[in-house]
């Protein structure tokens, strides 16, 4: 009895569902503004988790670590600080592996679940989410927003709009300042900005990010994903028959028909054509047309919305659900770890992770380059010995001055000149110096023989003893 009553109540509520308008377009050609309805549910909550990560992006530069900014890309000094690790351009090969790792993670995730990066994590999605949320706080629900947009200018409209833009501007400014903060001292940056003393680069970066955020998240929204993002194109081609995508269950839903008061229609499918799935879509996509649409960023809010409606009309959830093309055809999806693409992507990712970890654990404290003077290759001295000249470039990557001893071996009676017994390497600096080797020609067995320089630290906690090969030439 009570179940039947509930059912009736729910069907009364359906009226309300239809009363809220929902527009429909496949591709927003730029003439329309999409006002997505707010939704709550499982996937919406996942999206919220993802944006919390971006709060970290805003706060991270203000963290201190070992007495300096936790993350600082110091371009003038060519040093990249990541917590206790300092990376120099000489170690930038790790960046290649980082990019490989990010690409592979993306490919893998796309192969598994389609464009979920776009739907959950992408800054365009996240910032747009924030902007839409602010818009709905100030201007109300989508219907009210559309009305306000169409209404003639009034004091109220101006007040609401300008208040909205003000908050958008503040967020955009914060975004720009945050980005700049990764490249300079974050606290000093605020001082510089408010005293108008900041460097031109800061202003340019700030302006670019400010304008970009304001326009892209505030006005262009879905059109950035559709028209501007090169990345959307790449990601779309990673999807295969195994990828799970938000899919409308056509067999269950069709033929769709409007739900009527108190009537449970057995001839029609479960879709009551309420268009809520369209109304909530930030991209204006009608998921019922096809699972694979260029606009679909696979964020799953249509699933939340539809599940909500199914609950209201007392039908099972999952009319729209994450489903792969294979599953639709009735084929079982192999487990994720048995799919070749996933295995390959995971394998490459693993190699990249190992390379990065190995690289970070073994950053050499010195970057040494020894260049043999080529013009001339050798000089004959008045005592008949042969001299070769070398230029040493040693970058001391440690924060303290190092006292190093340079020795040479490889030829009997070889003599090193040009450097004293010890060389002092200033911290974080590279000053080239010249070293000369002299040997009697009869001790040099060939026109070109290998010689080995050994660089050893002296009286230091940092123990380094590295050998570098070069050659010695004679006439």
**Would you say how long the chain is, in residues?**
475
Residue 381 within binding range of another protein, rule CB under 8 A: yes
Q: Are 474 and 374 in contact (CB under 8 A)?
A: no
Residue 290 within binding range of another protein, rule CB under 8 A: yes
Say how many residues touch another protein, by CB under 8 A: 30
Residue 25 within binding range of another protein, rule CB under 8 A: yes
Applying the rule CB under 8 A, the residues between 5 and 24 that interact with another protein are 24
Residue 201 within binding range of another protein, rule CB under 8 A: no
Nearer Cβ to another protein, position 172 or 389? 389
Nearer Cβ to another protein, position 39 or 291? 291
Q: Which stretch binds another protein (CB under 8 A): 3-11, 37-45, 106-114, 374-382?
A: 374-382
Residue 403 within binding range of another protein, rule CB under 8 A: no
Q: Compute the least distance from the CB of residue 10 to another protein, in Å.
A: 29
Q: Which stretch binds another protein (CB under 8 A): 68-76, 136-144, 356-364, 369-377?
A: 369-377
368 phi and psi angles, rounded to 5 deg: -115, 130
Residue 384 within binding range of another protein, rule CB under 8 A: yes
Nearer Cβ to another protein, position 69 or 388? 388
Q: Of 19, 84, 266, 375, which one interacts with another protein (CB under 8 A)?
A: 375
Nearer Cβ to another protein, position 117 or 472? 472
Q: Of 20, 240, 373, 466, which one interacts with another protein (CB under 8 A)?
A: 373
Residue 150 within binding range of another protein, rule CB under 8 A: no
Q: Compute the least distance from the CB of residue 381 to another protein, in Å.
A: 5
Applying the rule CB under 8 A, the residues between 37 and 96 that interact with another protein are none
Q: Are 189 and 176 in contact (CB under 8 A)?
A: no
Q: Compute the least distance from the CB of residue 27 to another protein, in Å.
A: 6
Residue 219 within binding range of another protein, rule CB under 8 A: yes
Binding characters for another protein, 425-454, by CB under 8 A (x = yes):
------x-xx-x------------------
Q: Which stretch binds another protein (CB under 8 A): 8-16, 83-91, 348-356, 370-378?
A: 370-378
Q: Compute the least distance from the CB of residue 64 to another protein, in Å.
A: 31
3-state helix/strand/coil string of the chain? CHHHHHHHHHHHHHHHHHHCCCCCCCCCCCCCCCCCCCCCCHHHHHHHHHHHHHHHHHHHHHCEECCEECEEEECCCCEEEECCEEECHHHCHHHHHHHHHHHHHHHHHHHHHCCHHHHHHCHHHHHHHHHHHHHHHHHCCHHHHHHHHHCCCCHHHHHHHHHHHHHHHHHHHHHHHHHHHCCCCHHHHHHHHHCCCCCHHHHHHHHHHHHHHHHHHHHHCHHHHHHHCHHHHHHHCCCCCCCEEEEECHHHHCCCCCCCCCCCCCCCCCCCCCCHHHHHCCCCCCCCCCCCCCCCCCCCHHHHHHHHHHHHCCCCCCCEEEEEHHHHCCCCCCCHHHCHHHHHHHHHHHHHHHHHHHHHHCCCCEEEEEEECCCCCCEECCCCCEEEEEEEEEEECCCCCEEEEEEEECCCCCEEECCCCEEEECCCCECCEEEEEEECHHHCCCCEEEEEEEEEECCCCCCCEEEEEEEEECC
Q: Which stretch binds another protein (CB under 8 A): 215-223, 239-247, 305-313, 460-468?
A: 215-223
Applying the rule CB under 8 A, the residues between 225 and 264 that interact with another protein are 227
Nearer Cβ to another protein, position 60 or 379? 379
Residue 335 within binding range of another protein, rule CB under 8 A: no
Query: What does the binding site for another protein look like in residue numbers (CB under 8 A)?
Result: 24-27, 29-31, 219-220, 223, 227, 289-290, 373, 375-376, 379-384, 387, 389, 417-418, 431, 433-434, 436
């Amino acid at each position: 009895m009570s179940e039947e009553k509930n059912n009736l109540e729910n069907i009364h509520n359906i009226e309300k569902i239809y009363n809220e308008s929902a527009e429909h377009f496949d591709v927003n050609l730029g003439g329309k503004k999409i006002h997505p309805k707010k939704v709550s549910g499982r996937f919406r909550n996942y999206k919220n988790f993802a944006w919390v990560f971006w709060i970290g992006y805003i706060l991270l530069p203000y963290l201190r670590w070992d007495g300096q900014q936790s993350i600082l890309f110091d371009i003038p000094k060519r040093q990249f600080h990541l917590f206790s690790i300092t990376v120099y351009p000489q170690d930038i090969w790790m960046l290649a592996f980082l990019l490989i790792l990010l690409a592979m993670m993306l490919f893998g995730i796309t192969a598994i679940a389609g464009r979920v990066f776009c739907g959950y994590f992408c800054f365009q999605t996240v910032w747009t989410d924030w902007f839409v949320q602010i818009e709905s706080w100030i201007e109300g629900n989508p219907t009210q927003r559309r009305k306000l947009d169409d209404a003639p200018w009034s004091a109220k409209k101006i007040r609401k709009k300008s208040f909205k833009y003000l908050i958008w501007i503040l967020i955009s400014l914060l975004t720009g300042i945050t980005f700049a903060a990764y490249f300079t001292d974050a606290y000093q940056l605020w001082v510089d900005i408010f005293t108008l003393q900041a460097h031109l680069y800061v202003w340019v970066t700030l302006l670019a990010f400010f304008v970009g955020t304001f326009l892209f998240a505030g006005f262009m929204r879905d059109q950035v994903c559709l028209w501007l993002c090169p990345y959307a194109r790449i990601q779309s081609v990673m999807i295969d028959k195994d990828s799970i995508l938000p899919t409308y269950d056509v067999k269950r839903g069709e033929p769709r028909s409007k739900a009527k008061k108190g009537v449970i229609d057995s001839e029609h499918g479960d879709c009551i054509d309420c268009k809520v799935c369209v109304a909530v879509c930030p991209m204006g996509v009608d998921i019922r047309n096809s699972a694979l649409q260029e606009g679909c960023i696979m964020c799953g809010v249509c699933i939340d919305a539809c599940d909500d409606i199914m609950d209201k009309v007392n039908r099972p959830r999952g009319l729209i659900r994450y489903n792969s093309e294979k599953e639709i055809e009735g084929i079982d999806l192999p487990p994720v770890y048995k799919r070749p693409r996933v295995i390959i992507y995971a394998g490459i990712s693993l190699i990249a992770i190992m390379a990065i970890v190995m690289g970070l654990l073994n950053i050499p404290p010195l970057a040494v380059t020894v260049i043999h003077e080529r013009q001339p290759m050798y000089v004959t001295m008045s005592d008949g010995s042969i001299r070769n000249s070398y230029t040493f470039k040693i970058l001391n990557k440690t924060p303290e001055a190092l006292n190093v001893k340079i020795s040479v071996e490889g030829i009997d009676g070889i003599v090193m000149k040009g450097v004293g017994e010890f060389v002092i390497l200033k911290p974080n600096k590279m000053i080239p110096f010249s070293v000369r080797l002299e040997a009697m020609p009869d001790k040099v067995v060939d026109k070109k023989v290998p010689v080995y320089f050994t660089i050893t630290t002296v009286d230091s906690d940092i123990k380094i003893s590295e050998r570098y090969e070069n050659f010695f030439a004679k006439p």
